[in-house]
Amino acid sequence: EAQVTQNPRYLITVTGKKLTVTCSQNMNHEYMSWYRQDPGLGLRQIYYSMNVEVTDKGDVPEGYKVSRKEKRNFPLILESPSPNQTSLYFCASSPRPANTEAFFGQGTRLTVV
């Protein structure tokens, strides 16, 4: 089954404790991205990757890191989480060219206390 898998689905952590949210896709897509969803603000892009070893900042990259060492994986790293990073996070992938359907993961609800 074609899918984007995120883990964990739910995470509660404390301020400053490094965490990683994993994302994996099995569709051989070149393009992957991370979004955060907040009430009233919709989906905002954090980082995206056009291909292996190629990443770029989205609209809200501060406080986040990503890596793309393999085509299928695109982890999101929070080196020192803060309460304002409490949000619902989605990973997405799509084939190139980028003007095609994006497939989203199920989401990761992160709470930073």
Partner 1 sequence: QQQVKQSPQSLIVQKGGISIINCAYENTAFDYFPWYQQFPGKGPALLIAIRPDVSEKKEGRFTISFNKSAKQFSLHIMDSQPGDSATYFCAAKGNDKIIFGKGTRLHILP
Token pair 């497939």 is at which residue?
A: 103
**Cβ 111 to partner 1 shortest distance, Å:** 16
**Burial (Cβ within 10 Å: 0-12, 13-18, ≥19) of residue 68:** buried
Neighbours of 77 (CB within 10 A): 14
Q: Is residue 26 within a helix (H) or strand (E), and if so which, with residue range?
A: none
Residue 23, both tokens = 């994302």
Q: Provide the mask over 62-91, with x wherever binding to partner 1 is found by CB under 8 A and - wherever it is not.
A: ----------------------------x-
Give SS3 for 20: strand
Q: Provide the mask over 33-52, with x wherever binding to partner 1 is found by CB under 8 A and - wherever it is not.
A: x-x----xxxxxx--x-x--
4 is a contact residue toward partner 1 (CB under 8 A): yes
Neighbours of 78 (CB within 10 A): 21
Choose the stretch contacting partner 1; rule: CB under 8 A; options: 11-19, 27-35, 61-69, 77-85.
Answer: 27-35
Please select the residue that binds partner 1; options are 32, 92, 110, 112, rule is CB under 8 A. Answer: 92
31 is a contact residue toward partner 1 (CB under 8 A): yes
Q: Return the DSSP state at 95.
A: P
1 is a contact residue toward partner 1 (CB under 8 A): no
Residues forming the site for partner 1 (CB under 8 A)? 4, 31, 33, 35, 40-45, 48, 50, 90, 92, 97-102, 104-107
